Chains A and B, each alone.
Chain A
Amino acid sequence: MNQAFDSDSVSITRRIMDALRLDPVLLSLLLILALFGSMVLYSASGSDTAAVIRQGIRIAVALLLLVAAANVPLRMLRKISVWLYLGGVALLVAVMLFGEVGKGAQRWLDLGFIRFQPSEMLKLAVPMIVATYLSDRVLPVGLKELIVSSILVMIPVVLIARQPDLGTAILVGSAGFFVLFLAGVRWRIIISLGVLFSALAPLLWKFALHDYQRNRILTLLDPESDPLGSGYHIIQSKIAIGSGGVYGKGWLNGTQSQLDFIPERSTDFIFSVFGEEFGFFGSVVLILIYLAIIYRGLYIAAHSTENFGRLLAGALSLTFFVYLFVNTGMVAGMLPVVGVPLPLISYGGTSMVTLMVGFGLIMSIRSARRFLV
C-alpha cells in the first residue's frame, strides 16, 4: 500500500515532467543553483529583501519561458532559427542606429514599452542557425561550410563588439564556434586559426579594442597600476575571496562585501561575495553544481538522435561553461574584467532569461529523443 503510493507519487512527478517535456535532473540542478543564488544575492545586496524578491520574480518568469521553450518541437526550432537570426541582426543594426547609450555603451533598444537588449537573443540565435545549417551537411565540416558558418557568426559578433560589449560578443562568438567545433572542424584548421589569431593579436590590440578594454587587460597584468580605476575591482575582489579561507566567514558575514569594498558586488562580482562568505569549500561545491549542469547538457547532446540536437545542446552547454569560466576567472584575477555575469546567480534579468530559455531548448532536444525512441 505504502509502496504503491510511493511508486505512484514518483510516477506522478515523472508524468508531470514528461507532460511538460522537462528534464528532472537538469531542472533540479537549476533550481538548486537559483536558490543558492538568491541566498548570495541577499547577502550581496546588503540584506535587501526587495532585490531578492525581484530576482525571484525573474527566476519564475524565466522558468515559465524555459517550459515554453522545452515544448517547441525541434522541427519548428530549425525553421524559426533563420528568422530569429535575421531579426536579431536587424535589431543589432537598429541599436547601432537608434539605440540608447547606457554606461558608455550602446546596447539597448527602447521599444516604448520595454527596453530590450537584442544582443541577448543572438546568444541563442547564432548557435541555432549554425546548427541548422550544419545539420543538413555531411560532417566533418568542409571549407565551404566553415566559411559560411564563420560569416554567420562574425556578423553579429562584430556588431556587438562595436557597441561595445565585449562580454556578450565573446559569448555569442563562442556559442557559434562551439557548434563548428562539435561538427568536427579539422584540427589543422583550428590550429592554423589559432596561429593566425596570435599573429593578428597585436593588430587587434591596437585597432579592435577600446581604450578601456586595453586598460582592463593591462590592469590584470598589474592591478597596482590603476588602483583607483579598474585595478581597484581586482584588488578588492582578491582580498574578499582570499580572506574567505577554507570555510568562509559565513553567510552575511563577509566583511569586505558588507563594507562596500567590492564594486558591482550583486552583479558581475557576486562571486567574490560568495567566495568570502563560503570559502574554498563553498566554491568547490558551487563549481561542482555548475559542472553537473554542463555535463548533463553534454550528456543530452551525446544522446540526441539527430545532428541539430547534438550540436545545439552541446554548444549551449559549453556556452554556459564560458559564462562560468570567464566570470570566475575575472573575479579571481585570472582574466580581464569583461561584463559577463555569474550565470543564474548575478542580479539582473536579461541573462537569466536567455540562459533558462537555452536550457529549455536543451530539454526539448532531450524530449525529441525520448519521444522518438
Chain B
Amino acid sequence: MSKREQLKDDFLENRLIRRRLVLAAIITLVLLSLVLGRLYVLQVVEYQHFATLSDSNRIRIKALPPTRGLIFDRRGVVMANNLPTYRLEIVREQVDDFEQTLAELMQYVDYSDQDLKRFRQSSERRRPFESIPLKLNLTDEEVARLAVNLHKLEGVEINARLTRNYPQGRHAVHALGYVGRIDERDLNEVDEVDYAGSTHIGKLGLEKFYEHELHGTVGVQQVEVNANGRTLRVLSESPPIQGNNLHLTIDSRLQRVAEEAFGDQSGAAVAIDPNNGEILALVSMPIFDPNLFVNGVSFENYNQLRDSPSRPLFNRALSGQYPPGSTTKPFYGLAGLETAIANKEQETYCVGYYLLPNEERRYRDWKKEGHGATNMTKAIVQSCDVYFYDLAYRLGIDRMSAFMAQFGFGVKTGVDSTGERNGLLPSREWKRRIEGMPWFPGETLITGIGQGALLVTPIQLANATAGFALQGIRYQPHLVKSVEKIPEYSLVDIASRVAGRYEILKQNNWEHVHNAMVKVVHGLRGTAFRISRGMKYKAAGKTGTAQVFEVAQDKEYDEETVANKLRDHALFISYAPAEKPRIAVAVIVENGGHGSSVAAPIARRIMDAYLLDPS
C-alpha cells in the first residue's frame, strides 16, 4: 500500500466514478422497481381487498363506556347497580333520509318529542359514524317489533347497554342522588375523551359528588364495520375499567325505618354516629323514584313532581333551612355557663312573657301562664322561653353567634353530596351588610330561642348535636365509608375528619346541660317524656317548635285555625345512649306542630332501630 501509485490519473478516476454511477443507477432502478412492485401488489393484486375496506368497510375507533361503579350501604345492600336495557340508536352517517327513517320508526317505537330533541342535540356533538341513542329503555315488545323490521331501517341499531338502576327505588333517594343523560352543560365540565362512550353522568347527590370515582375509565375498540355501520370484526380492544364502588355509611334498613316513621309528613331527619361523623340515615320527605330520572324523566312525571306542594325533589336534609327553635337552648345554656354569665342555680322568674328595659313589646313564652321560678335545668327540661330571653339579653348576640359557630352553625358541614346550604348565623355585621340596619336588642332575644334570622339545615343541626354529644368534638359528616378501587378491589377508607373542636372549659358545665337534656326525655316534666316509655336505653334530647309565621302582638296562636301550611315546624334533637352516645339525630317535621308530639317519636324509632338491632 505504501508503494501505491500517487499520481492522479484522471482517465482512470473518471472511469471508476462512471462505473460507480452506472452501478448506482442500476441499484436505484432496482429499488424503485421494488416500490413499484409493492404498489402493484397493493393497487392491482390486492385492490379488491383494499377497495372493500375503503368503500364499504371502515376501520373505526369505538369508545367503550365503562360500567359505573356500584353503591352499597354499610351492610353491603346494593343501593345502585347497572342493568342491561335495550336502546334504539341511530348512526346518522348510514341514514339516507333521516326524516323518513324517523317516520318509519314511529310505527314500531313510541318515541317522544323530547327524545328527538335530545337526539338532535347530541348528534351535533358526536361524529357522524357514532351511534346516538334515540330512545332508551325499550320494552320487550318494542325490541321484538324493531328486530323484525331492522333490515328495512338503514343505520338503526338496537344495542344492549347497562343502565343505572336503583333497586331500593324511592328509598334513600336524597342521599344517593341520581344519574341522568349527559347534557351540554355536563360536557363542558368533563373531559370529552373520558366520556366519549358515556351517555349518563351523576346529576345530583352522591352520584354527582363522587362522579370521578364512579365513572371509570373509557376503553377503546378498533373495529371493522360494514356499510351499514354494523361491526364485522373487532381488530383490537383495550377494555374499559369499571368505576370504583362506593360503600356508604348509610344503613338502608335504618333509612327505611326513618322514612316510614314520617308517614306522609314532609320533613327531614339526619342520623349521625357522633364518634366518626358517619351519616347513618339521611332522610328528606317526601321521596321519589330516582329511576324515573335515569333515562330522562317524562314531562308528565316531572311536572307532577315539580308542582307537588310537598316538593319531593327538594332535598330538605341538606338544602332546607329552618329556624331551629328551642333545639338551640342546650347550646345557649352551655354558652351561658362557659362564659360564666349564667350559673347553674340562678333562677329567672317566668311570668309568661319578658320585657326589655324601656320597651313595651312583650316577648311571650309558649306557656301563657309562665313557668314561675326557673333555673337552667328547668328551663331546658320544660323549654322555658323567658329564661333564655333573659340569658340571651345578658350574653348578647356577638357571644351567642361566636359560640354557635363553634358547633358548625352558619357554615356548610362539608358533607360529601351536592346542594348543601349554609344556614344563617345572624350577627351585627351580617345585618348591617345585608339589610343596612343596626342590630336591635329584641332580635337578640328571639335568636335566643332559635327564632328570627337564625336558620339551620337538618344536617347542620344533627352534626351540632353530634358535636355536643361528644363534648365539643365535631366530625365532618360523610356518606361514604370507603371506596372500593377497581380493578384491585381494595377498600380505601374515607378517613373521619374532625371538623371542629370546642374545648369545654369546665367538664361539669357540659354535664349540667347534658343531664338537663336527659331529663327532657326521661324527666316526668320533660317535653319529650312521652317517648321514654319502654325505652331500653337513656337518651338526651331537646324539643323545638319553630314558628313559620309571626303571631301578632295581641293575638293567640291557635293551631286549629291556622292553615296547615303556616303551622309550626316540629323539631327534635337527640343522642343516645346518654352515657356513651352512638347516634345523634335531628328531626324536622314541617308544619308538624309540636316537636314533642311529632318529631320526637320519629327520632325514637330511628334510635330504637339502630341501638336495639341485634346485628
Contact = CB atoms under 8 A, between A and B. Distances in A.
B7 interface: yes
B20 A246 contact: no
Nearest to B24: A318
B43 A318 contact: no
Interface in A27-86: none
A291 B22 CA distance: 14
Interface in B325-370: none
Contact of B49 (A240, A242, A255): A242
B222 A310 contact: no
Given A324-B32, A332-B39, A182 B21 contact: yes
B373 interface: no
Contacts of B13: 138-139, 184, 307
Contacts of B10: 307
Nearest to A225: B236
A34 B236 CA distance: 40
Contact of A224 (B14, B44, B235): B235
Interface stretch (B54-62, B246-254, B453-461): B54-62
Given A243-B47, A246-B43, A311 B35 contact: no
A325 B31 CA distance: 7
Contacts of B21: 182, 298, 301-302, 310, 314
B225 to A, nearest CB: 13
A283 B36 contact: yes
A102 to B, nearest CB: 24
B103 interface: no
B46 interface: yes
A321 interface: yes
A242 B35 contact: no
With a 10 A CB-CB cut-off, give which of B24, B46, B47 has the most chain A CB atoms: B24
Contact of B43 (A224, A245, A261): A245
B562 interface: no
With a 10 A CB-CB cut-off, give which of B10, B31, B49, B50 has the most chain A CB atoms: B50
A280 interface: yes
A239 B236 contact: no
B62 to A, nearest CB: 12
A26 to B, nearest CB: 16
Contacts of A294: 25, 28
Contacts of B17: 139, 182-184, 301-302, 307, 310-311, 314
Interface string A168-209: 000000000010011110000000000000000000000000
Given A235-B59, A307-B13, A321-B28, A224 B236 contact: yes
B4 interface: yes
Interface in A96-121: none
A334 interface: yes
Contacts of A256: 54
A276 B43 CA distance: 9
Interface string B1-15: 100111110101110
Contact of B35 (A181, A239, A295, A325): A325
A91 to B, nearest CB: 30
B506 to A, nearest CB: 67
B439 to A, nearest CB: 63
Nearest to A332: B38
Contact of B32 (A182, A275, A291, A302): A291
Contacts of A298: 21, 24-25
A14 interface: no
Given A182-B20, A280-B40, A324-B32, A138 B50 contact: no
B551 interface: no
A241 B43 contact: yes
B24 A332 contact: no
A24 interface: no
Interface in B46-93: 46-47, 49-51, 53-55, 58-59, 61
A155 interface: no
Given A138-B8, A246-B44, A227 B222 contact: yes
B24 A181 contact: yes
Contacts of A12: none
Contact of A280 (B43, B51, B220, B235): B43
Nearest to A295: B25
Given A142-B1, A224-B236, A287 B35 contact: yes
Nearest to A334: B38
A167 interface: no
A343 interface: no
A250 interface: no
Contacts of A334: 34-35, 38
A132 interface: no
A279 interface: yes
A228 B61 CA distance: 8
Nearest to A255: B54
Contact of A184 (B20, B42, B61): B20
A183 B46 CA distance: 42
A244 B16 CA distance: 43
B35 A227 contact: no
Interface in A288-309: 290-291, 294-295, 298, 301-302, 307
Given A302-B21, A310-B17, A241 B39 contact: yes
Given A228-B220, A307-B13, A245 B39 contact: no
A328 interface: yes
Contacts of A261: 58-59
B24 A243 contact: no
B18 interface: yes
A244 B51 CA distance: 8
A242 B17 CA distance: 40
A181 B20 contact: yes
Given A138-B8, A182-B21, A332 B42 contact: yes
Given A245-B47, A333-B38, 13 more contacts: A182-B24, A227-B59, A239-B59, A242-B42, A246-B47, A275-B43, A280-B39, A294-B25, A301-B17, A307-B13, A310-B17, A318-B28, A328-B35
Interface of B: 1, 4-8, 10, 12-14, 16-18, 20-22, 24-25, 28-29, 31-32, 34-36, 38-40, 42-44, 46-47, 49-51, 53-55, 58-59, 61, 220, 222, 235-236
14 contacts: A138-B8, A184-B16, A227-B222, A239-B54, A243-B51, A245-B47, A256-B54, A275-B42, A279-B43, A280-B40, A294-B25, A298-B24, A311-B17, A332-B38
> Which 7 residue pairs across A and B have the least CB separation, nearest first?
A242-B50, A243-B54, A280-B43, A242-B42, A139-B13, A243-B50, A227-B222
